[in-house]
Structure formats: C-alpha cells, structure tokens
Amino acid sequence: MGRIALVTCRPGPEVAEDRDLPGLVRALGAAGAEAVAVAWDEEGVEWGSFDLAVIRSTWDYSWRAAEFVAWAERCGRATRLANPADVVRWNADKRYLGELGAAGVPVVETRYVAAGEPVELPEEGEFVVKPTSGAGARLAARYTPEEHEVAVRHIRRMHAEGFTAMVQPYVRSVDTAGERALQFFGGSLLHASRKGAVLAPGTPYDARKTAHPGLTPWTPTEDELTVAERALGAVPGAPELLYARVDLVDGDDGRPRVMELELVEPDLFLSLHPESVPRVVDAILKAAAAG
C-alpha cells in the first residue's frame, strides 16, 4: 500500500490544532498503508523514503513562505509531493487572484501594495487589509474610511516583515450569507461547508482570530460549482491536483466570487464531514501507487 507522509507543522501559539490528522493517519493505516504525520521542517527526514508526501496542515508556512517553498521543491525532487511544488510556489502568494481575474474568473477585487509603493485606500465603504502570504486571517483586519491612519500603520508593519499588502473591499454579503468552502479531492467535489464572518469591526490586525466561525455543512449551488471549476481550470499549467479548496463569497450582484483558492494546506473539515474520509483515503492511496 505504500509509505505516506502527511505533512504538518510543529505545535505553537499561532498554530491551530489539526483535528483531522490523527483520524486520517488511522484510516490510512486501516487501509493497509504505512502513514505517519511529519513536520515539514523536522530535521533528518528522508523524504525519499516515502512513496507520497501529502501537505496537510503546514499552517505556519505563511510567515516562512520562502523557506517553505524551498522545502517543497526539495521534497518534490525526492518523492511525489501533493500538491506539486510549482503549485505550492504559485499559490503561496495571493497575487494569484490577479491572474485568476485576468483569466476571466470572478474574484474579489484586489489591489496590491508592495514596500515602497504609495498607499491608496478606499474613500468609501469598509475595506480589508491583509498580507499576500497568510492563513487563518493572520495579520488581517477590517477598516472604515475613517480608520485610514490605522490601516496605513498596518500596511507599514507588513512591509517591515517582508509582506506585500492586499487591499480589498469588505464583501458585505459575508455578514449575512457567509463564506462557502468547496472542497475537491482526487479531481472531484468532496463536500462543501459554510462559515460566518471572520473579521469583526474594530478587531486589531494582530489579534488572534477564529478562522472558521460557525462552520456548517453546505450544498453548493450550480453557480458556485461553475465558478469553482473555472478557478481550478485557470491554475497555470493545468497541474494534477490531489486536493483543492475554493472559498467563495457573493458579490454585490449576488453572484459568487473567489475569495481564495487554497491549494497548499487547506483544512479539509473532515471532522464536520466524516463521511468523506473513505474517499480521501482512496484518493491518497491511488496517488501513492501512481508515484
């Protein structure tokens, strides 16, 4: 059945617990595979001894992005890595949203502010500032036009830490319709979930946020499926993806738009969807055998 690494990270104050990982290790073991959870930065790991390395919960990567991408490239040369290193490199920087938009995928309008560039913020309506490399709403905040000075300090802080900033209009529908996460595994829809708003007014950008508040199962609409499939089809090079999560919100026109396309380490929410575990195990075993 093969030897499989489920790649995670070391515990820490800014790292959430991966509740899916122990059960996935057990399920793969019950199916006959030798599966182990391994931190991506653990010293002395012989990645070539695995038939497949599946990135699962490397949730510290976003503030160590260059180091993580370099690891992915090394690991991908030693064994089969899912998702592949070129996908990791592309998706680790949220400037990919601009590429998706240029390809005709409906996305949340986004402006990027690199270090040294002038900071232009919306004069009307709430807006969001966050880094192009981020996860779990880390270093993200919601502002009103009256809070420009605070937002500028926020952006300067990100620049000082080596991040490019993103500025987006606050999508008002999130407060009522929430955000939907469509999970794909092994090339087809696995399940979908809905969560509430993450960014509350007045919450400091450096405060710890609940990444997935009010998470519930969701049945995606045809429009949501269409937009998600368009986003996946626009990934450069049409790579083979073992897993993907497409996060969608409704624009002012009521139509779904891509908020994020998660191809590096998306939470699969298997604790919410235990019926999906056998399909995930089967797809991982097939990927290991194909390597």
For residues 261-265, give the mean pLDDT: 96
Give strand pairing partners of 3: 34
Measured from the Cβ of residue 256, the count of other Cβ atoms closer than 10 Å reads 24
Residues 169 and 127: their CA atoms lie apart, in Å, by 4
For residues 189-216, give the mean pLDDT: 83
Q: Verify whether residue 43 is a known catalytic residue.
A: no
Q: What is the pLDDT of residues 152-183, one digit of tens each?
A: 999 999 899 888 999 999 999 999 999 999 99
Handedness of CA 221, 225, 228, 230 (dihedral sign): negative
| pLDDT at residue 246 greater than cutoff 90 | yes
| pLDDT at residue 275 greater than cutoff 70 | yes
Please give the pLDDT value at position 276. Answer: 98
Q: How confident is the model at residue 137 (pLDDT cuts 50, 70, 90)?
A: low
Please give the pLDDT value at position 202. Answer: 74
Among the listed residues 126, 229, 262, 279, the single catalytic one is 262
Sheet strand arrangement including 52-57: 34-39, 3-8, 52-57, 81-82
Please name which of 217, 235, 212 lies closest in space to residue 274, comparing C-alpha atoms: 217
Q: Given the structure tokens 């599966």, which residue do they identify?
A: 35
Locate 275 and state its tokens: 């019926």
Q: What count of residues does the chain have?
A: 291
Q: What is the pLDDT of residues 18-37, one digit of tens each?
A: 999 999 999 999 999 999 99
pTM: 0.94
Q: What is the pLDDT of residues 224-244, one digit of tens each?
A: 999 999 999 999 988 899 999
Query: What's phi and psi for 3, nearest 5 deg?
Result: -110, 125
Please give the pLDDT value at position 206. Answer: 73
Locate 175 and state its tokens: 């407060």
Measured from the Cβ of residue 48, the count of other Cβ atoms closer than 10 Å reads 11
Q: How confident is the model at residue 198 (pLDDT cuts 50, 70, 90)?
A: confident
Q: Verify whether residue 147 is a known catalytic residue.
A: no
For residues 121-136, give the mean pLDDT: 87
Q: Verify whether residue 262 is a known catalytic residue.
A: yes
Q: What is the 3-state secondary structure (H, E, C) of the chain?
A: CCEEEEEECCCCCCCCCCCCHHHHHHHHHHCCCEEEEEECCCCCCCHHHCCEEEEEECCCHHHCHHHHHHHHHHHHHHCCEECCHHHHHHHCCCCHHHHHHHCCCCECCCEEECCCCCCCCCCCCCEEEEECCCCCCCCCEEECHHHHHHHHHHHHHHHHCCCCEEEEECCCCHHHHCEEEEEEECCEEEEEEEECCCCCCCCCCCCCCCCCCCCEECCCCHHHHHHHHHHHHCCCCCCCCCEEEEEEEECCCCCEEEEEEECCCCCCCCCCCHHHHHHHHHHHHHHHHHC
Choice between 33 and 138, residue whose per-residue pLDDT is larger: 33
Among the listed residues 208, 240, 255, 275, the single catalytic one is 208
Q: How confident is the model at residue 203 (pLDDT cuts 50, 70, 90)?
A: confident
Q: What is the pLDDT of residues 45-89, one digit of tens each?
A: 999 999 999 999 999 998 889 999 999 999 999 999 999 999 999
Please give the pLDDT value at position 82. Answer: 98
Lowest mean pLDDT among 123-127, 199-203, 247-251, 275-279: 199-203
Please give the pLDDT value at position 212. Answer: 82
Among the listed residues 179, 245, 257, 260, the single catalytic one is 245
Residues 63 and 66: their CA atoms lie apart, in Å, by 9
